[in-house]
């Protein structure tokens, strides 16, 4: 960590990011949309390294939403290729930094190559003890909650769970993020003021921070700026201070 970087005394444990604006960044420069995604990978690398340096417990990146399948097939095919390449190329860095790799979302629809590299990276990094890097792939919060409801219903049908025993912990333990801490800070790039079906259950008490910068422009100093904004918030979780 650079001595010039002034971090606040209070840091979030878990940061979730909606990496928005790759396509618009490219279009404003007369480049194909896929070039924006390629440039966005550079931001991913820098922010992952920064998160590990700063001692985050978890960093969750919204890479592919369940709604993104509406995009042109050619773009989706290039995205799958880019994701597979990223997983292969970054595996050595993940191991060098001691990161634990995970994904959330539905596996159906992801290419065989992507699934193969996901499984390999999860396996080889399972013994690491550093920051958890979690990629949200083919992820949608409403689908996640629906899947959790089905799992809970099956347990009730099987006699493994009593209806009267269902509480918030039951739901949380049935989500894709079971065993993960809820995000303390949600960052969104490109200036959009919406949640885009991202971690709707988990961010109930997260602090929100939005920047006008497109994701390919987002760098380490921007993350530090978000941390300072987070540290300045009065987090009362519905109670009264003092």
The one catalytic residue among 9, 22, 53, 68: 68
User: Within a domain: residue 1?
Assistant: no
Q: What is the pLDDT of residue 240?
A: 53
In a domain, 30, yes or no: yes
The residue range of the domain holding 45 is 14-141+184-231
pLDDT in tens, 87-125: 999 999 999 999 999 999 999 999 999 999 999 999 999
Q: What is the CATH number of the domain that holds 94?
A: 3.40.1180.10
User: Whole-angstrom Cα distance, residue 101 to residue 21?
Assistant: 25
The predicted pLDDT at position 17 comes to 98
Indicate if the pLDDT at residue 200 is higher than 90.
yes
Confirm whether 20 is a catalytic residue: yes
Residue 163 lies in a domain: no
Q: Which of 20, 138, 184, 222 is catalytic?
A: 20
Question: What 3-state class would DSSP assign to 208?
Answer: strand
Instruction: Kindly state whether residue 72 falls inside one of the protein's structural domains.
Output: yes
Confidence class of residue 76 from pLDDT cuts 50, 70 and 90? confident
Residue 223 has pLDDT above 60, yes or no: yes
Domain count, the chain: 1
pLDDT in tens, 144-159: 999 999 999 999 999 9
Residue 63 falls within a domain, yes or no?
yes
Q: Residue 236 pLDDT more than 70?
A: no
Does any domain span residue 55? yes
22: annotated active-site residue = no
* Residue 18 covered by a domain: yes
The reply to whether 5 falls in a domain is: no
pLDDT of residue 15 exceeding 90? yes
Strands 58-65 and 132-139: what pairing? parallel
């Amino acid at each position: 960590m650079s001595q010039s970087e002034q971090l606040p005394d209070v840091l979030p444990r878990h940061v979730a990011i909606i990496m928005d604006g790759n396509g618009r960044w490219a279009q404003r420069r007369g480049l194909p949309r896929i070039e924006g995604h390629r440039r966005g990978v550079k931001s991913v690398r820098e922010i992952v390294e920064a998160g590990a340096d700063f001692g985050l417990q978890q960093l969750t990146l919204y890479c592919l939403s369940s709604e993104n399948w509406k995009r042109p097939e050619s773009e989706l095919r290039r995205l799958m290729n880019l994701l597979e390449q990223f997983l292969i190329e970054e595996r050595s860095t993940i191991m060098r930094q001691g990161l634990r790799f995970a994904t959330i979302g539905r596996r159906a629809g992801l290419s065989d190559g992507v699934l193969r590299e996901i499984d390999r990276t999860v396996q080889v990094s399972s013994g690491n003890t550093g920051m958890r890097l979690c990629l949200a792939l083919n992820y949608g919060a409403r689908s996640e909650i629906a899947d959790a409801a089905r799992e809970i219903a099956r347990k009730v049908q099987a006699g493994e769970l009593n209806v009267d025993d269902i509480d918030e912990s039951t739901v949380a333990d049935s989500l894709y993020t079971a065993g993960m801490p809820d995000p303390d800070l949600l960052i969104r790039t490109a200036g959009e003021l919406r949640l885009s079906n991202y971690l709707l259950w988990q961010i109930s008490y997260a602090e929100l921070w939005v920047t006008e910068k497109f994701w390919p422009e987002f760098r380490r100093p921007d993350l530090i700026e978000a941390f300072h904004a987070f540290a300045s918030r009065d987090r009362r979780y519905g109670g009264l201070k003092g």
